[in-house]
Structures are given as structure tokens and as C-alpha cells.
């Protein structure tokens, strides 16, 4: 993240953390609940859940401390978002202390491509699983399962 040349190192991470906090608070205030309104383009156009369907309801549930509700909306995001938030806080803390923060993505091109391929395959697999019928654990992956 580029900041003004004379700005302290912690300004960029502080802006990132603040943006995530404000965005999460707005989603919590808006409360994109289970009122039946389709918010996802893939759900509205094709009737299928994309890997991020249920994401705003997941964020809303996470902000309210409802971990099971968040996982019910989108288990992938319910696991990933707290880890991303923790990473942002670590980035801010280390920048505040003037310490470098290790980048979680490999700088080596070969490893970066391999990790990117793993992420894409995982997202495709998650998308397929959450759109097929089957046992209860597969049905639970659908974004529309939550009724509470």
C-alpha cells in the first residue's frame, strides 16, 4: 500500500484496518438478513451459489459474535475472514513498532503460481460442493440453508 512519502509506516495498515472495521460495521448496521432478497449476481442470474454467496450475512454474523451462523452462511469465509482480520492487526502492530511484516504470499514466482492454483482449485471445489445435493454436510454448505 502506497502512502505519502513523509507519512509514518503505520498509516497504510491503519487505513486498511479502519476500512475493514467501517465496512463491517456498515454491514452489521444494514443487517443483510435472510429476508429472501438475492444479493449475489450468480444467485440471481443462474440460481447457483458463488464461493462468496452468503458473505455479507457471514460478516454480519461474525461482527455479532455468531460464529455458527457465520459458518452456516459461508463456512469458507467464516474461517478465512478472522484470519485476514488477525493478519491486518498484526500488520498494523508491527508497522506501529517499525518492524517489517512478512508477506504471507510467496515472492518466488513458481511458488506463487502454485499457491494461486491451489486457491483457485479450492474455490472451484467449494463452489461445486455448495451447489450439489447430497448428505446434510453438503446441503449445509449452501448459502440459503440458514433460517435463524
Domain of 41?
11-139
Mean pLDDT computed over 9-23: 93
Q: Which of 31-40, 88-97, 132-141 has the lowest mean pLDDT?
A: 31-40
Alpha helices (H) along 50-103 = 55-63, 67-73, 75-96
In our burial notation (b when 16+ CB lie closer than 10 A, e otherwise), range 101-130 reads eeeeeeeeeeeeeeeeeeeeeeeeebbeeb
Q: How many structural domains are present in the chain?
A: 1
pLDDT digits (tens, 9 = 90+) for 62-121: 999 999 989 988 999 999 999 999 999 999 999 999 998 877 778 888 988 999 999 999
Does residue 16 fall inside a structural domain? Answer: yes
Model pTM? 0.81
In a domain, 133, yes or no: yes
Amino acid at each position: 500500500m502506497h502512502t505519502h512519502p513523509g507519512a509514518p509506516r503505520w498509516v497504510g495498515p491503519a487505513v486498511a484496518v479502519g476500512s475493514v472495521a467501517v465496512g463491517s460495521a456498515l454491514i452489521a448496521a444494514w443487517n443483510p438478513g435472510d429476508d429472501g432478497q438475492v444479493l449475489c449476481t450468480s444467485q440471481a442470474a443462474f440460481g447457483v451459489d458463488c464461493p462468496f454467496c452468503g458473505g455479507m450475512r457471514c460478516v454480519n454474523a461474525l461482527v455479532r459474535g455468531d460464529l455458527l451462523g457465520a459458518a452456516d452462511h459461508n463456512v469458507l469465509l467464516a474461517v478465512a475472514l478472522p484470519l485476514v482480520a488477525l493478519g491486518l492487526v498484526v500488520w498494523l502492530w508491527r508497522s506501529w513498532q517499525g518492524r517489517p511484516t512478512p508477506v504471507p504470499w510467496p515472492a518466488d514466482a513458481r511458488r506463487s503460481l502454485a499457491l494461486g492454483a491451489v486457491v483457485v482449485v479450492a474455490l472451484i471445489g467449494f463452489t461445486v460442493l455448495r451447489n450439489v445435493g447430497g448428505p446434510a454436510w453438503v446441503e449445509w454448505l449452501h448459502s440459503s440453508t440458514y433460517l435463524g
